[in-house]
Structure 1
Amino acid sequence: MINIVVIKPYDGIEKVIKEAFEEHPLRNSLSYEIIDTLAPLALEKAQPFNYVFSPQTDVVIARYFSAQHIRNQKITCIEIALTGYDVVIAINECIKLYNPKKIAVFTPKDTLYEASNLIEIYKQQEIILMEITDLDTLQEQLNQAKANGVDAVVGGLIVVESARKLGMQGVLTRLSKMNITKAINDAIQIVEITRKKNEENKRLRGIMDYSFGGIISTDSDGNIILINRHAQEFFGYDVQKAGPKTIWDLLPDLSRDAIKNGDVIEDELMKIKGTLITFNMVPISGKNGNSGVVITFQKVTAIQKLEGKIRNKIHEKGFYARYRFSDIITKSPTMLECIERARRFSKVNSNVLLIGETGTGKEMFAQSIHNESQRRDGPFVAINCAALPEALLESELFGYVDGAFTGAAKGGKAGLFEIAHNGTIFLDEIQDISAKLQGRLLRVIEEREIIRLGHDRVTSIDVRIISASNQDLWRKVERGEFRSDLLYRLDVLQLEIPPLAQRDQDVLLLAEYFIANHDFGFKSTVKEISPEGKLLLMEYTWPGNIRELRNFCERLCVTCDKPIADAKDVKRALYGGNIIPINLSEKPKQAGPSVTMKEMEKKIILDTLVLCGGSKKMAARELGWSKSTLWRKMKEHGIS
């Protein structure tokens, strides 16, 4: 619907206006209102026009001075156009009524030329054409006409009434239905154009506001034409409140010649309001050369953050941390103190070294530290350094380019350090990396940059390193097996995770949790463990720690078909079906290795290997260890 307001230029025109609207082919899409002109009253009282329009008004149709005033208010207005024929009709009426010798015709500039060609038909009267400009000069024009012997005037309502006050006769130039219809058509056209333009501007504004940086468009004089939301927020500039500005109000150091000449500036780093940004400027070419420039800029920190998201998205393989400190099940004071220390470590960006036996939950701590740190929105990348041979581990950590080595993936591959940018990388079993990789890792930590295999380009990274080991790395340094300078950089903050043997309160707590909340992939009848069975669990040393305890619970749920598992069921699940005569009471009561514990561990390994027919893979699974852990422990105990 198009809402039109018509200011009637004189009384008696209402019928013509209504007929023009009601006969219009688009009448069902038009809504109109007719109001009185305020021009005569404003002239009489020497006060400004006081038209008030509804916010729903799309366009106003008016004549002469009313149209001029409304346009000055920046309201869309269509002026009702006169034709030379309308002027001739009014002149004829004037001659018929008053038979004057000299007639002054007041008409807008657009009608003057057509009227001048038509008045030549009048031989008995002198016709003077006078261009209407504004109210301020009208009275002067009328006085001049009176002084020049004009008997009558032809024009609009204000012209006629003002002339009569000076003693001259006057005749209105009346409007026909054709005049009104043409004005309606012009009004419809301009509203449709305006709406289309507003829609395009709205779309452009949406594109600009939802871009990832600031956008400013200026004319060749530096006046700001468009500025998007990001730029307004960055400069603290509200277009609605502050009004128009020049680009130098925002960027005082920008060269004026650069704007005038339409210079091209690409990816220039500059500091504005204490913030480092990337700055771009390109000219806008018009018919007469440079008609302005478009400036775009973006915070470097935003680019880095986006880069991190892109890296993570491209290599989306689940590089996120699932666990939080609230997921760690414990009542042990030692473990609670360990968690509290880890929480403090989360607040800083320093590298962390986790020390603990296999199966104690080192990666769970690493993920929890990441999730409570400022890097929580970045990737969490974990890798077991003992699980891969040196060459493969190197390519995984640092990445490679196309053709770097035989079998390299086409297009190359980003390394885990690149993927972990703005996040955390967890290097498990760090003690097993080779001397060569220790050197490369040291450089990454010191320089905060990596070079892909087969490449010569440096890539900057921002990564927090959390490493883990189940061995005393300083002992390895003493034996020359680990670089001390690397360890100094990894061991900024150290967290020792207690083994399950030092967490008496947690053995039954965890067992009950695993049985009640298991996700072993089958339905179990076991609901709880008998008191005798619980005593066996409390007496066992759990060399495989929580991993071994979870595997025990899974075996128990498989092998026991009773709601309450008794001592026999527990023994069967602990030792794979054979009752191994081990003195379960020989449980260490303090931290640190002991002869008794080592002997017990060696015996358990030997018995499990016998039970599994010598299969190291099966034995590792029964013990709840990884194969690399079993091989290492066999080597430590001299088991071939």
Structure 2
Amino acid sequence: MIKILVVVPYLELQEQFDKVISQYDLDGFSISTTHFVGTDSKLIESLDADIAVARGITASAIASQKPSIHVVPIIMDSGDLFEALAKVKQRFDTCRIGIVINEELCGEDIISSLIEYPVSVCRVHDQDDVQRAVFELKAKGCKVFVGGLTLCRICQNNGLEYEHVKTGNQAIIHSVEDAVAAARSLDRVKTRGNLLLTLLNNAKDAMLAVNSSGVVIAGNRQAASLFACTPLEGKPIEAVYKGIKWSQSLASVSSREELQAIGGQQILVSQQPIQVDSQPFGVLFTFQNAEAIRKSEHKIRTELHRKGLVARYRFENIVTQNAHMLQLVEKAKRFSLVDSPILLLGETGTGKELFAQSIHNASPRSHEPFVAVNCAALPEQLLESELFGYSEGAFTGASKGGKSGLFELAHKGTLFLDEIGEIPLVLQAKLLRVLQEKEVRKIGADMVVPVDVRVISAANSNIIEKVKTGRFRLDLFYRISLLNIQLIPLRERKDDIGLLFTHFVRQYSLKNNHRVPAVNEEAFGELKRFFWPGNVRELRNAAERLAILNSVEFVGREEIEQLDIGATSLYAEDVVPLQKRKKVEENVSSPEDQYRAFIASGLSRDAFARKIGVSRTTLWRRFSQFELE
């Protein structure tokens, strides 16, 4: 709230001031009055106000001694003066009159000609001046003195004749009006200033405003902290910011940015000209921590892409009771604690991405992005721009402003490169450099961007063959496979088939608002006879099909047979219908019968072994005697 203080020059005016003040709405400011005479420095120093209304030498003294206070003078106008002079003429015959005033009025000759009395005028600034002026004018022959209350008291103490120049009602009205107008204007300025200061202090970046002379006129808390300097205002910019040599030309220079080391940090220094009324006034410096900029950009990128950059699965989502799989889970948990690259090997559907997401969520990077890309799903040119990004104008059709690559999006998090074995050789070299140097160069860019990414790769076992034949770089293979996990196919963990199938049936039954059926051992036995070339993914599809189509309370062998699992199998010969398998099992007993059945079936040995429920080794041993004949 803006405070207005009215210094009433003499008590007879108090009522007039109170009457004028009562006419104003005091919303946003307050008006109070006080009374003292002269220029006593102790009294002036104790004044608590934003605006002071005072008369004569008191107004001048407040303005001089308390520059923080805006002073509105109560003007002694000509009418007030001539009213006092008229009273002198009534009281005294022709004599010289001494006028002691603080204001600048018309000259002595004009006043003398108007009142037809000789006049001497003396301007004063404080009460010592008044004392001196009275005796100087007395020495000039003045018999009567005209002026303010200070003059009257001096004359009274020295036995001199005087007449008090009193303040008229119009002067009171005008002074209060001016004070109220100043208060409202000052309130707006203070509001804007407080708002600006609040904005500056709440900014993340350090900021300094410098005038055209190179002197700091404003700075926020962040700047004081960065430069370890308080206060900042009033200091030459070179004394605060050692990295600049100020010159007059800097005050009108265009905007620019440069990276500098300040206080052991990499700081991006931005320089923006300040103009007032279209004229150069100074410069606004902004100091941004380079790492903070990168983190801010990363946060924005993360929020924009959050929907696709979150790992959903955790180790507790891995459903298994197989001893080998449990060992792999424990191994993956240990791998999650370090940042070394991991290679997940296994057939399709064995859970490579499930393991990748679980490793990310168990790692210190769990709150950062998880970015996944299938390297086999994109052509070479598109894959390169997706991985590394591109700058504006890098190629025809490039988005305005360029695009951040997946390495940048995954900064501080995990990048999952699925089917990494399908990356072309040209891109393998670029990928190797990124993994080695931990920095990315966008397509069409002339600068590199540092990245901190944990890479998890996945591939089928044929990546080993590609390395041997030169289709996958050996140095890249060693780089991505520092840690590796070989996931086992479903056919090698048959003890999990029943557990997984029950889990998926329950999950999809609840999803479709169906009751959850009980699955018996005959059904599990039937499921275990299947080769499951699609692994867990194929088993899950079979469970979802059962949950959608079946409405029985108990699921047995017949219900599993009705799923026609083999109809969508990549290896149709791996599935034998139930009735046909019964017939084969009933008629095929001896090795000779089995061999004849094998020849008649047209199946491969592996497929036939699975069909009759024996191991491949056993079947080969039985057939060897017939093949040698």
TM-score of the superposition, structure 1-length normalised?
0.74
Checking the alignment, whether the CA contact within 8 Å between 2:372 and 2:415 is kept in structure 1 is yes
Match of 1:194 among 186, 196, 206: 186
Q: Deviations over 1:154-204 (max 9, x none)?
A: 333233223322332333321122111111221232223223333443554
Question: Does residue 150 of structure 2 align to residue 155 of structure 1?
Answer: no
Secondary structure, counterpart of 1:485 in structure 2: helix
Shift of 1:337: 6.1
Which structure is larger by alpha-carbon Rg, 1 or 2?
Answer: 2
Deviation string for 1:213-245 (max 9, x for gaps)?
A: 433111233321122454345335565xx7644
The letter for the 2-side match of 1:175 is T
Equivalent residue in structure 2 for 1:38, among 26, 36, 39: 36
Out of 76, 81, 85, which is 1:82 matched to? 76
Q: Who is 2:161 aligned against?
A: 169
Structure 1 residue 366 displacement after superposition: 2.8
- Residue of structure 2 in register with 1:6 after alignment: 6
1:5 and 1:412, CA in 2 relative to 1: closer, same or farther beyond 3 A? closer
Aligned partners of 2:253 and 2:399: how far apart in 1?
Answer: 40
Alpha-carbon distance, 1:605 to partner: 11
Q: AA paired with 1:279?
A: V
State the partner residue of 1:18.
18
The answer to whether the 8 Å contact 2:497/2:524 transfers is no
Q: Which moved more, 1:395-404 or 1:438-447?
A: 395-404
Letter in 2 for 1:193: S
Contact 1:418 1:461 in 2 (8 A): no
Counterpart for residue 627 of structure 2: none
Q: Secondary structure at the match of 2:184?
A: helix
Paired AA for residue 221 in structure 1: S
Q: Is the 8 A contact 1:220 1:290 kept in 2?
A: yes
Residues 266-311 of structure 1: per-residue CA shift (max 9 Å, x gap): 3222100011122233554679986432222322223333444566
Q: How does 1:398-413 map to 2 (within 5 A)?
A: 398=388
Cα pair distance change 1:271/1:77, threshold 3 Å: same
Distance change >3 Å, CA 195–CA 348, structure 1 → 2: farther
Q: Residue 317 of structure 2 aligns with which residue?
A: 328
Deviation at 1:393, TM superposition (A): 4.1
Following TM superposition, by how much is the alpha carbon of 1:134 offset from its aligned partner in structure 2, in angstroms?
2.6
Mapped to 1, the partners of 2:126 and 2:138 lie a distance apart of 19
Relative to structure 1, the CA distance from residue 413 to residue 246 in structure 2 (aligned partners, 3 Å threshold; closer, same or farther) is closer
Q: Report if aligned partners of 2:342, 2:455 keep a CA contact under 8 Å in 1.
A: yes
Conserved? CA contact 1:80–1:180, under 8 Å: yes
User: How many Å apart are 1:488 and its aligned residue?
Assistant: 1.7
Q: CA deviation at 1:335?
A: 5.7
Give SS of 1:12's match.
helix
Which of 539, 545, 559 is 2:549 aligned to?
559
Q: State the alpha-carbon separation in 2 of the partners of residues 74 and 415 from structure 1.
A: 53
Aligned AA (1:231): A
Secondary structure at 2:11 match in 1: coil
Inter-partner Cα distance in structure 2 for 1:28 and 1:421: 59
Output the TM-score relative to the length of structure 2: 0.75
Distance in 2, Cα, partners of 1:99 & 1:421: 101
Equivalent residues of 2:237, 2:246 under 8 A apart: no
Q: Given that residues 393 and 402 in structure 2 are in contact (C-alpha distance below 8 angstroms), is that contact kept between their aligned partners in structure 1?
A: no
User: 2:99 maps to which residue?
Assistant: 105
Please name the residue that 2:43 is paired with: 48
The alpha-carbon deviation at position 551 of structure 1 amounts to 2.0
**Structure 1: distance between partners of 2:12 and 2:221:** 52
Q: In 2, Cα distance between the equivalents of 1:566 and 1:225? A: 85
Aligned residue number for residue 206 of structure 2: 214
Equivalent residue pairs, number:
579
CA distance in 2, matches of 1:380, 1:276: 28
DSSP 3-state at the match of 1:78: strand
**Match in the other structure for 1:588:** none
CA distance in structure 2 between the partners assigned to 1:393 and 1:260 by the alignment: 46
Whole-Å Cα distance in 1 between the matches of residues 85 and 473 of structure 2?
Answer: 110
Report the residue type matching 1:176 in the other structure. G
- Inter-CA distance 531–544: structure 2 relative to 1 (3 Å threshold): same
Q: 2:341 pairs with 339, 342, 351, which one?
A: 351
Letter in 1 for 2:157: K
Matched residue SS, 1:322 = coil
Q: Which amino acid aligns with 1:15?
A: E
Contact 1:421 1:461 in 2 (8 A): no
Q: 1:484 is matched with which residue: 474, 487, 490?
A: 474
CA distance in 2, matches of 1:519, 1:558: 7
Q: SS in structure 2 opposite 1:113?
A: coil
Amino acid at match of 2:8: K
Report what 2:587 is aligned to.
none
Give distance in 2, aligned partners of 1:472 and 1:29.
Answer: 82
Q: Decide whether aligned partners of structure 1 residues 334 and 552 sit closer, same or farther in structure 2, where only a CA change above 3 A counts.
A: same
Relative to 1, partners in 2 of residues 1:231 and 1:330: Cα closer, same or farther, differing over 3 Å?
Answer: farther
Query: 1:371 Cα shift?
Result: 4.9
Partner of 1:427: 417
Q: Output the CA distance in 1 between the equivalents of 2:398 and 2:277.
A: 51
Structure 1: segments with no counterpart, 5+ residues? 584-598, 608-640
Preserved contact between residue 313 and residue 361 of structure 2 (Cα < 8 Å): yes
Between the aligned partners of 1:490 and 1:535, the Cα distance in structure 2 is: 40
The unaligned stretches of length 5 or more in structure 2 are 568-576, 585-603, 613-629
Q: Residues 75, 258 of structure 1: CA spacing in aligned structure 2 closer, same or farther, 3 A cutoff?
A: closer
